[in-house]
Structure 1
Amino acid sequence: MTTTNLDSFFKDDESQWLDALPNYQKDVVSELLAFNSNDYDKAALSWLEASVDNTSPFSGEPKKDKKYFESLKNEVYKLLCGNPDYSADRDELTQLVKSEGSKSSVIAFISGIIGAKLGLAAAFVSPAIVILFMMITKTSLNAWCAMK
């Protein structure tokens, strides 16, 4: 599969991705973006490192180091940019986008897949995934995949 099947999903204004989050997460992510001058990497890193000690021990695979953001970006890249390990998940994601098109459903689906892969709760990774999607929307999925 090429990214063109999903690229059109990243055509809206990037701030619309925030609406995929519950209000309590949306407010915190908005504050992190403002505090970090809309630097998406710094905002996502701030989210993931702010409460790692409270989240990670309850996961299936606690990680000792704090490389959550790089791991998260790598897994999202593999999912969206064509890695064969995620081909079945990508096909299911494409069908979800075609049938429902809801950003909230897409974030929940991807957060579940990536969270399970990294041993982290989906609710913990979803704000960072939203921030990544905001970054992708600023360019395009094809451009983001090419830059990685």
Structure 2
Amino acid sequence: MEELNNLCQSEPNELLLAIDSFQKEILESFLVSTGNDYLASADKWLNAGPSNTAKFGGEPNKAIIYRDKLLDEVEKFICGDNRYDEDRKKISESADKSKQYIIGVMSTAIGSTMGVAGTFVAPVIVLLIMSIGKMAVNAWCEMRKEIKKPVEIGQQNERN
């Protein structure tokens, strides 16, 4: 889908403009503190919260697990999983091809699948898309398949 390919090849600053300004400011501070490490910044977002309250995942390593689940859902959305067919169709048929609209549709769909508000996951989705970088979507999807291959083979061996 051309819209998702264009989104993934956007400049990081353009992607940050797709979220609310208060979220953008927080992400920018996370990016500075992590040396522009998109995944570490995503973990910081998932662990952020007022002091004396439990973080989103409860424990810091839970945020990494949750981030990886979000990454899996972003992969499904971008790489063509049937679960998100209607959402991708909504993007392709819409006259609005802005990054804000596409991130909004993705965040709502993925948030709904995971049982959280789209506005909470939108900044993490932006960071995950930023981590794709200038790589073409097809190349990224193939890379994700290769990453998962040893795990899938190991799981099949455990079943046998």
Same fold, TM exceeding 0.5? yes
- Compute the displacement of 1:5 (Å): 5.7
Quick one: distance in 2 between partners of 1:21 and 1:5?
A: 17
- Compute the displacement of 1:6 (Å): 2.9
Corresponding residue of 2:150: none
Quick one: distance in 2 between partners of 1:80 and 1:7?
A: 8
SS at 2:17's partner residue?
Answer: helix
SS at 1:20's partner residue?
Answer: coil
1:79-122 Cα shifts (integer Å, max 9, x gaps): 110112222222222223xx211111111111111111111111
Asked if 1:121 is matched to 2:153, the reply is no
SS at 1:138's partner residue?
Answer: coil
Quick one: distance in 2 between partners of 1:145 and 1:90?
A: 16
Gaps spanning 5+ residues in structure 2: where? 145-160
TM-score (norm 2): 0.75
* From 116, 137, 140, the counterpart of 2:133: 137
Q: CA RMSD in A?
A: 2.3
Corresponding residue of 2:143: 147
1:37-70 Cα shifts (integer Å, max 9, x gaps): 11111111111122394668xxxxxxxx542211
Corresponding residue of 1:61: none
TM-score (norm 1): 0.80
Quick one: distance in 2 between partners of 1:145 and 1:92?
A: 21
Quick one: distance in 2 between partners of 1:6 and 1:107?
A: 10
Q: Which protein is bigger by CA-based radius of gyration? A: 2
- Compute the displacement of 1:143 (Å): 2.2
Gaps spanning 5+ residues in structure 1: where? 57-64
Quick one: distance in 2 between partners of 1:147 and 1:45?
A: 22
- Compute the displacement of 1:138 (Å): 3.1
- Identify the structure with bigger relative contact order (alpha carbons < 8 Å, sequence gap 6+): 1
Quick one: distance in 1 between partners of 2:3 and 2:114?
A: 25
Asked if 1:24 is matched to 2:35, the reply is no
Quick one: distance in 2 between partners of 1:9 and 1:121?
A: 21
Alignment check: 8 A CA contact 2:8 2:136 kept: yes
Corresponding residue of 1:14: 12
CA, structure 1 residues 107+4, in 2 after alignment: closer, same or farther (shift >3 Å)?
closer
Quick one: distance in 2 between partners of 1:142 and 1:49?
A: 31
* From 81, 84, 100, the counterpart of 1:83: 81
Asked if 1:40 is matched to 2:38, the reply is yes
Q: Which amino acid aligns with 2:29?
A: E
